[in-house]
Structure 1
Amino acid sequence: MDKSSLPQYFVGSRYFHARTRRPVTLRYIGPLPPSLSPLDPSSQVWLGIEYDDPSFGKHSGVYQNIQVFCTREEGSGAFLKFAGRPLEEGKNLVQSIEERYGPIVPNDAGQSPHIADNVHANGKGLILGSSKGSIIVETPNNWANAQKRLGNLEKLRIMGFEDEGITALGGDENLKDIMITRLRGVEWLNLSRNLLKGWGEVAEIAECFEGLQTLTLSHSRFEALSNNLPDDTRQRLGALNKITQLHLSDCSTSMNEVVLLIPFIPNLRVLHLEANRTISNLSLDEEEYQVLDRWKTLKELRLGGCQINQWDEVADILKHLSGLESLDLSFTPLSHVPPSSAINYENIRSFSLLGSCLLRWEYIDHISQNFPRLTSLRFSLSSGAISSITADGAQNSFSLITSSPDLQRALVISKFPNLITFNSTTITPSERRDAELFYINYVKSHTSEHPSERGNWGRYVELCKVHGRDDTSTEKKPEAGLKGKMISLNVYKYPTDPSPSTLALLPSSSIKLLKHKVSRLIRASATTTLHLWTVINEEGRMEKVIDIAQEREGHDWTVGWWFENGDSVLVEES
């Protein structure tokens, strides 16, 4: 085999798989199995690659029990026979810019505008180079003006080059100076799904965007920085110091690698690390924690979709990020939150836990204890958690988090005293009051046989005091027979009604039955719509709280959910 005719590839560089166009990193070039002796010119050469998507891999760099190369993710490696051109190179950023916007160096007057390397303009239209002049695309009359507007790089604020196979900046120093001048207005640059191999290439590009604030590099693969970088590399990485928002979702990175990057992003406020399957361990050494201690600017950390399952590791990170205000742990396998330690994270105001694996209400109480000043919460159960709750619900439903949206919202609101929004919906003062009163009755009714357990429910005792309810009351021993199981309700036609009527029902009675009995009691017409309000006494006045006659989804609401023996119900007709 004539080795001189083969393309030149470099270990550590990134390419496209020639057949599938899947992005890969080249990890090995040589024979299989590896040999220490000089390569026989007649032997077959193999390329060891790592796919960005592990599902396309065949192994983890192992051949006949020999570790030929290492992969970031298990099962993401493969071997390709080095024949023909198995890997394809990408292009540089300068090429991408000029293909989309025209030349970076403006054309002299009278010259035809440049469209792309294989597309040219003439008097009739656009000639597609690949057609050898046989295909001419007609252009509109205002084509030149459109090209001029599109090529006005100075007015751009956002530039996106996702999935274009960019490997480097490209161009010379003179062109770089022109780019710095013309692109100073760009604030957001998207370089996701490209072939940049390291932070040096990223920094070289960032140098050309002096106004850059947001940099998106998601779905990329970068070489990890080292502790001992050359001075010129450190100086180049200084171009990242103006970035305030960085997207590194699905970059197969780790928290240790992030810590090495921190000195070069001192002004970062928002860091996206979602879907990094390699982030399963948040534990750092003492020196790395000291780096976090000095990182005061970070306000928002998003770790959704990472493989985090230990709350203690989350707590350790939070101890050292004193400026952090927003945390996202959505779609993580976190299934347990212990009680709060002596340290509370009062700086955390926003928390997201969508697709959660938490099953028990006590864990939500512990989150409330850890984040006492939380004002925004996003929470939902994963499909697996819902299945587990459904399977176990008949045995222990009270302690398990409900999948009913209405019931879940009411209980969550009650557990977080400073919450302003839940699942992006604002909590009004009246909704909070309704939820807290409902919560008191909910806990009371489900702990009737064990009143001492009520204090274990987050904020139960506190809310009883706030709303003037007796948190120590126990149920009286019921009379024998059906009558002893019934509760009595005082039915008022209006707030100042001096002589309420009385109804007796079983706690298990439906709200529909209650409406029917109230309708007969007050002799309402068949066309009348009834509103049945729970009430509280405020300084001797009866105030409406919740209209229980409204349709509610997700639960079998009964009289016993809303009322205890001796409670009052206010009737409104419309």
Structure 2
Amino acid sequence: MTSNAIHDYAIGHRYLHSKTRYPLTLRYIGPLPPPVGPAEVHFSTGSSGSTDTLWLGVEYDDPAHGKGHSGTYKGIQVFKCRSDGSGAFIKLSSGVLIRGQTLVQAFEERYGGIAIDSHEAESYETPERSIKLGTSGITVEAPGMQHVKRKFGQLEKLKEVGLEGEWTDTLGGTEQQRRTMKERLKGVRLLNLGSNLLCSWDQVGEIISVFTGLSTLILNHSRISSGEIDTVTSSDILGELYLGDAGISWHEACDIARLFPHLSALHLNDNPLISTLDRCLNARIKSLSLAGCPLTNWEEIHRALSGSLSLESLDLSRVPISSIPPSPHPTGFASLNTLLLSETSLCDWTDIDHLAVRLPQLTTLRISSAQSTEQEVWEDSPAQPPLSSQLSGNDLQDRPFLIAKIESLSVLNGSQITSDERRDAEMHYVKQVTALIVDHPEQAVSWGRYSALRAKHGMQDVHELVPKARINDLRSKMIALTIVHAKRDPFTISVLPSSSTVSLKRKIAKRMDRDANSLHLWTLAPPVEDDPLNTLVKGQEVHDGRSVEWWFSHDDRVLWTGGGVHRTVRS
């Protein structure tokens, strides 16, 4: 091999490993150990031109593909890696690293030729009933082939161009091809260049200049250097940018955002280097995703983002924030109305209370726990009360508490919150908290909105309840319900709180000799003190599918209606 192989590669450029096809960035060319000196490229050739002693120092995109070091050789720092453990040395040989392809090449392979020559133009007009299969020389009948060609040749109708995984490294093409693309691809609104080998934002700017109508650019799984970003020509057309797993820091992301004056949505998912937010967000961004970034400090997020008057949506899914500190008053986040917390590490209900205070405009929340629930819960199973001050991690159990605690919510986990659901959730929340703190009423202040909701719905104050002895038997766990009817005397029955409303209907039906299938149960509004007739005011009809404790607590009244007389047929 001659020294010409050296000139096939350039420091800072990106390649694929010829055997594994793993993407990487070239950081060093030279011998090991390297000679003393600041240069990044060190090589010399003997009289025979041999370069057998030269090595390529590379940084893999995925640290798992590296050799566990960050550019060091026997304790000597040969080159630097942005991610720990992603470095490796590869012996220089012909073709050990391969380049990607140009965007023009990738585009023509997927969408057909950019320019239509005279021969192609004739083929659109001339009926063609056969086609050759590759270089085999085999010809098969293909009636209507001219229509297929015409369809793929109508580039003007393209709205989206997907070249993800094509390992694009430059725009490429001739000047004529670029002009033709610019003219024919005016309608393209989305360009996906995920998993590319671009190495500079100058190259990105060159590509954007061809797609004059572009509004969304996807550059996920990139490693584009931001070293010369100040020299890049900005784009005033781009509105949404995806930089997931792009190996950038928050500081670099803020610099990149400045290139696009009309950028309103920025997706920075899964960037390990975004572990701290050391700058304030660009004021124009309306939607920001930091999902999967290793951020752990809520106050730091607050300082960087709360001052934005335009930020409306924030995605903190899979972010390892484990607590939200209290704040006596709403501060910042004047426009934030949507928050995503999928697979969150937040687990204490007090964090939800603090969140409600900090985000007073929050109307849409998507939340799920990173901790899996220990027991399997079917979708149609009744919700059980939380056993502690922590989220259960089960959507069905946590939903009423979330609704009750965050007054401004209108959509939770994609489902609209109706006025009836909010009322039921708030009353359920008060009942469950009351049961938890009945022996320690001083804890009421630690449950957000508890006192306000108790007053709102006219429910009994926990201080008025008499703590009951905790006897560990089945009878002590039962609650007493007063069963009433407009024309019959009331009576009392005892049931387990976790039992189903179906079993409650059966108990009442058996007592009254009625048909349980046609029996209807209702909640009752609290009695009015100055009502001598003790008028029964219907609340909400009790539906099957939830437990008794969802609807009622100890000493509540239950109104029953309907239920035809049960007739026993004797043979």
TM-score, normalization: structure 1? 0.85
Name the residue aligned to 2:64.
55
Task: Work out the number of aligned pairs and report it.
Answer: 532
Deviation at 1:550, TM superposition (A): 1.9
Find out whether 1:163 has 2:165 as its counterpart.
yes
Matched letter for residue 544 of structure 1: G
Deviation at 1:341, TM superposition (A): 5.2
| 1:312–1:444 Cα change, 3 Å | same
Deviation at 1:324, TM superposition (A): 0.3
Separation (CA, whole Å) in 1 of partners of 2:527 and 2:363: 27
Find out whether 1:199 has 2:186 as its counterpart.
no
Separation (CA, whole Å) in 2 of partners of 1:550 and 1:96: 58
Separation (CA, whole Å) in 2 of partners of 1:484 and 1:79: 71
Separation (CA, whole Å) in 1 of partners of 2:4 and 2:470: 99
> What per-residue deviation string (whole Å, max 9, x for no partner) do you get for residues 348-403 of structure 1?
1110101111121111111111111211110111136x469x9xxxxx93211113
Query: Contact (CA 8 Å) 1:411, 1:435: kept in 2 or not?
Result: yes
Query: Contact (CA 8 Å) 2:308, 2:333: kept in 1 or not?
Result: no
Moved more, 440-449 or 312-321: 312-321
Separation (CA, whole Å) in 2 of partners of 1:248 and 1:359: 29
Matched letter for residue 269 of structure 1: S
| 1:135–1:423 Cα change, 3 Å | farther
Matched letter for residue 567 of structure 1: D
Matched letter for residue 550 of structure 1: D
Name the residue aligned to 1:178.
180
Query: Contact (CA 8 Å) 1:358, 1:381: kept in 2 or not?
Result: yes
SS in 2 for 1:264: coil
> What per-residue deviation string (whole Å, max 9, x for no partner) do you get for residues 125-146 of structure 1?
2352xxxx33536362222221
Name the residue aligned to 1:35.
35
Find out whether 1:88 has 2:98 as its counterpart.
yes
SS in 1 for 2:110: helix
Find out whether 1:492 has 2:501 as its counterpart.
no
Separation (CA, whole Å) in 2 of partners of 1:330 and 1:458: 24
> What per-residue deviation string (whole Å, max 9, x for no partner) do you get for residues 249-301 of structure 1?
111111100111122111111111111122111123xxxx3xx3xx3321111
| 1:140–1:488 Cα change, 3 Å | same
Name the residue aligned to 1:118.
none
Find out whether 1:455 has 2:461 as its counterpart.
no
Name the residue aligned to 1:505.
494
The aligned runs of 1:501-540 (5 Å cut-off) are: 501-505=490-494, 510-511=499-500, 514-525=504-515, 528=517, 530-537=519-526
Name the residue aligned to 1:278.
273
Query: Contact (CA 8 Å) 1:299, 1:326: kept in 2 or not?
Result: yes
Find out whether 1:106 has 2:96 as its counterpart.
no
| 1:320–1:153 Cα change, 3 Å | same
Name the residue aligned to 2:531.
none
| 1:307–1:112 Cα change, 3 Å | farther
Query: Contact (CA 8 Å) 2:504, 2:548: kept in 1 or not?
Result: no
The aligned runs of 1:122-521 (5 Å cut-off) are: 124-128=130-134, 133-134=135-136, 136=138, 138=140, 140-226=142-228, 229=230, 233-234=231-232, 237-238=233-234, 240-284=235-279, 289=280, 292=281, 295-340=282-327, 342=329, 343-383=331-371, 386=373, 397-471=387-461, 473-476=463-466, 488-493=480-485, 497=486, 499-505=488-494, 510-511=499-500, 514-521=504-511
| 1:387–1:479 Cα change, 3 Å | closer
Query: Contact (CA 8 Å) 2:306, 2:334: kept in 1 or not?
Result: no
> What per-residue deviation string (whole Å, max 9, x for no partner) do you get for residues 453-478 of structure 1?
11221111221222122445332365
Separation (CA, whole Å) in 2 of partners of 1:197 and 1:509: 61
Moved more, 167-176 or 145-154: 167-176
Deviation at 1:89, TM superposition (A): 0.8
Query: Contact (CA 8 Å) 2:27, 2:79: kept in 1 or not?
Result: yes
Deviation at 1:223, TM superposition (A): 0.2
Separation (CA, whole Å) in 2 of partners of 1:182 and 1:251: 30
| 1:57–1:470 Cα change, 3 Å | same
Separation (CA, whole Å) in 1 of partners of 2:477 and 2:187: 74
Matched letter for residue 167 of structure 1: D
Unaligned runs of 5+ in 2: 37-41, 378-385, 529-534, 564-571
Unaligned runs of 5+ in 1: 115-121, 391-395
Separation (CA, whole Å) in 1 of partners of 2:79 and 2:410: 52
Separation (CA, whole Å) in 2 of partners of 1:433 and 1:480: 30
Query: Contact (CA 8 Å) 2:129, 2:142: kept in 1 or not?
Result: no
Query: Contact (CA 8 Å) 1:163, 1:192: kept in 2 or not?
Result: yes
SS in 1 for 2:251: helix
| 1:522–1:277 Cα change, 3 Å | same
Identical pairs, percent: 35
Query: Contact (CA 8 Å) 2:478, 2:497: kept in 1 or not?
Result: no
| 1:76–1:529 Cα change, 3 Å | farther
SS in 1 for 2:84: coil
Separation (CA, whole Å) in 1 of partners of 2:43 and 2:120: 59
Name the residue aligned to 1:67.
77
Separation (CA, whole Å) in 2 of partners of 1:38 and 1:154: 50
Separation (CA, whole Å) in 2 of partners of 1:456 and 1:523: 46
| Cα RMSD for the two superposed structures | 3.0
| 1:69–1:341 Cα change, 3 Å | farther
SS in 2 for 1:503: strand
Name the residue aligned to 1:119.
none
Query: Contact (CA 8 Å) 1:6, 1:85: kept in 2 or not?
Result: no
SS in 2 for 1:473: helix
Separation (CA, whole Å) in 1 of partners of 2:200 and 2:214: 19
Find out whether 1:78 has 2:83 as its counterpart.
no
SS in 1 for 2:147: helix
